[in-house]
Structure 1
């Protein structure tokens, strides 16, 4: 059962947190996301469609800093008013006053994990769908402004834009494992097709060259569809780990491990057969080298899959780790000025936390450390915070 003091501290932190989170999220959404989307030619309606999918990502980025700000605000003000000195003078420990922050930040950390999962899956695919469905508008906006546009393996430059007509376009289509296609024409038009998520290119009076070895001219109209690369049928062995639901990660990791074992067995059979038949030269042939490369790629993806679950949980618990350090620092500073307290606490925390977290994340993805290694920064901050709290409780300033 929370005491009256603990309820008051929790209430003050919640008020500061909610107000600050609303302001920061709105700034991120309308100054960052909306402005950049409009500058890229997405249009007002595109921005309106984009906002719901961007909110989870904006919230997941804003919550850790906002949580630290609320902790610094409440505990810094109480310390400046000598409330903690008064408590200690009558024999009341400081630890019960820290419990509300620990409980609230733990709950926020769990909620942030859910936000990160939502942002990486539903939010990412939603933003991508909105951008691709608006690619026609974006393309014409950029062509009118810069006379060039590029998307994935497709690029186009024009001399002028008149309504929907692109005057004297120069088009390049890059193909995987094949020579690129260069097209020049008198006019062309672009149109987005929602049925197969492709960009339809209608070219009039043009000429095409394939890798400089073949060419043909078409005096009439030629229509070519360019896939925009949504790839909706990706399975657990091909989907990007960062954009998979957390519930699918263990199954995907198991299937990837089975795929590695299958590839290794195939390579072992090929190598053994080459040795038995005295065809040792076959071991170093391009097909065998390609098998080794595929195994290495599969192992790399397996490391990423194993790391992804820990990455999302560790990222979510950034709230708790940073706030635990912020509590004793804010109390020690005794600064009534919230921004001063927050700035002094926030800057070193960010400069220490995120570089170490990024380093351990890269090492875990490469397989140099165990996937659980992404928790190193969080554990480091927890240990430091425990030492600082203990020193604050038993050796008050």
Structure 2
């Protein structure tokens, strides 16, 4: 009799496994189908908004907009995936609960947790996908976008120079005057600029070509048959194939941490730590030298202040990179936590419309999750908290709420 008990139990378990796996496959198929449809619609909407903003801010033409279109799509996905996944689970689980399929599954011995496994699986896959997008795909896409935009800015600049035949930048202290522009070559060009020692230099070239170097963050101008003079009229030299460099516009020169690869961020952390140690050592040596010389007034002088400022700047950069690294892990994992709270909540709200369920679920996330996330980011960048744990606080809040909602679903 004891031997028969396990056989009957195993037979009953096998009889439940078939319907359970069939139902899980059905739910997973519905989740994937609805998610792909929604993410495509939402991404297309955001892509067109993003392209319109980019074209307006940078004056891009239609051909350039079409060039950057394939690279804008992956840049939008990390922002659309979590909310779209939440809407997906609200639709699918709200529908099957409204059709009493959850009640029927429980009557057949299939728990609510087992019904949620397809959503957890999809959430896990999208978590890994989101992390890959933010760490590798987006930096690659942004790099390509910047190259296209840089080329566009070159074209716009050369068109303006061909029309006006003069360009000046008083802030950076240089100006360009040309006779004409032919095939991206400046003819009979005169360049006037200030050196770091505030000396005014004038260079006149028969021909000149220019390009924007994103890697070095400079504008490179190659001069042919050039002649240079100082402000006093002294001739520098007769030069040929001389290269001038000027800083790029601020919007092109600045590299945002969210556009860097994970390896670049980690390398940046190490470089900033090294810079801090170097500046700290230089400041200590300078202070020791001033003490030995008895020049106590210079302990609060400009040289030490500059070194301390550079050390603080390196520290701020390190904190910015560290915060970005940990935020990528936590933001990617938000897909899993959105599912953890959205699936059980949709089951509880079975009789409501799915859009009502989504709003009831997403509104607290907007009012609590994202503000807490932004707060933790700012506190981490200011060294008030450690980003290693601080960036997970919003997900922890969602996890606690999800456990509470799931326990109600399991009980009832």
- TM bucket (normalised to shorter chain) is 0.7 to 0.9
Alignment partner of 1:19 out of 37, 56, 80: 37
Alignment of 1:172 onto 2:169: yes
Shift of 1:47: 1.6
Q: How does 1:256-295 map to 2 (within 5 A)?
A: 256-295=272-311
- Superposed CA offset, 1:112-153 (max 9, x none): 111112354111111111101011454589x7xxxxxxxxxx
Shift of 1:208: 7.4
Shift of 1:95: 0.9
| Secondary structure at 1:306 match in 2 | helix
Shift of 1:254: 2.5
Q: Equivalent residue for 1:71?
A: 89
Q: Equivalent residue for 1:147?
A: none
From the superposition, tell whether residues 117 and 139 of structure 1 become closer, same or farther in structure 2 (CA, over 3 Å). Answer: same
Question: Is the CA contact 2:39–2:84 (under 8 Å) kept in the aligned structure 1?
Answer: yes
- Superposed CA offset, 1:26-66 (max 9, x none): 2222x223434554542222122202221211122211111
Bigger mean CA deviation after superposition, 76-85 or 35-44: 35-44
CA distance in 2, matches of 1:100, 1:221: 68
Shift of 1:170: 6.7
Question: Is the CA contact 2:43–2:80 (under 8 Å) kept in the aligned structure 1?
Answer: yes
Question: Is the CA contact 2:136–2:262 (under 8 Å) kept in the aligned structure 1?
Answer: no
Shift of 1:90: 5.3
Bigger mean CA deviation after superposition, 37-46 or 294-303: 37-46
Alignment partner of 2:402 out of 374, 385, 396: 385
CA distance in 1, matches of 2:216, 2:337: 37
Alignment partner of 2:259 out of 230, 237, 243: 243
Larger Rg: 2
- Which runs of no fewer than 5 residues in structure 1 stay unpaired? 144-155, 157-163, 194-199
Shift of 1:304: 1.5
Count how many residue pairs are aligned between Structure 1 and Structure 2.
355
Give the TM-score taking structure 1 as reference length.
Answer: 0.77
Shift of 1:77: 0.7
From the superposition, tell whether residues 297 and 20 of structure 1 become closer, same or farther in structure 2 (CA, over 3 Å). Answer: same
Give the TM-score taking structure 2 as reference length.
Answer: 0.75
Alignment of 1:61 onto 2:61: no
- Which runs of no fewer than 5 residues in structure 2 stay unpaired? 1-16, 219-253
Q: Equivalent residue for 1:149?
A: none
CA distance in 2, matches of 1:296, 1:217: 38
CA distance in 1, matches of 2:171, 2:182: 19
Question: Is the CA contact 2:127–2:336 (under 8 Å) kept in the aligned structure 1?
Answer: yes
From the superposition, tell whether residues 239 and 24 of structure 1 become closer, same or farther in structure 2 (CA, over 3 Å). Answer: closer
Q: Equivalent residue for 1:33?
A: 50
Shift of 1:84: 2.0
Q: Tell me how large the CA RMSD over aligned residues is.
A: 3.5
Q: Equivalent residue for 2:326?
A: 310
Alignment of 1:344 onto 2:344: no
CA distance in 2, matches of 1:138, 1:334: 57
Shift of 1:391: 2.3
Q: Equivalent residue for 2:6?
A: none
From the superposition, tell whether residues 360 and 222 of structure 1 become closer, same or farther in structure 2 (CA, over 3 Å). Answer: farther
Alignment partner of 1:325 out of 336, 341, 356: 341
Alignment of 1:103 onto 2:117: no
Q: Equivalent residue for 2:384?
A: 368
CA distance in 1, matches of 2:397, 2:179: 59
Shift of 1:241: 3.6
CA distance in 2, matches of 1:35, 1:285: 50
| Secondary structure at 2:118 match in 1 | helix
Shift of 1:337: 3.1
Alignment of 1:356 onto 2:372: yes
- Superposed CA offset, 1:223-242 (max 9, x none): 887774623489xxx97543
From the superposition, tell whether residues 50 and 239 of structure 1 become closer, same or farther in structure 2 (CA, over 3 Å). Answer: closer
From the superposition, tell whether residues 249 and 224 of structure 1 become closer, same or farther in structure 2 (CA, over 3 Å). Answer: same
| Secondary structure at 1:42 match in 2 | coil
CA distance in 2, matches of 1:323, 1:306: 27
- Superposed CA offset, 1:253-294 (max 9, x none): 223222212221221122122212212122112111000001
Bigger mean CA deviation after superposition, 348-357 or 83-92: 83-92
Bigger mean CA deviation after superposition, 359-368 or 255-264: 255-264
Q: Equivalent residue for 2:152?
A: 134
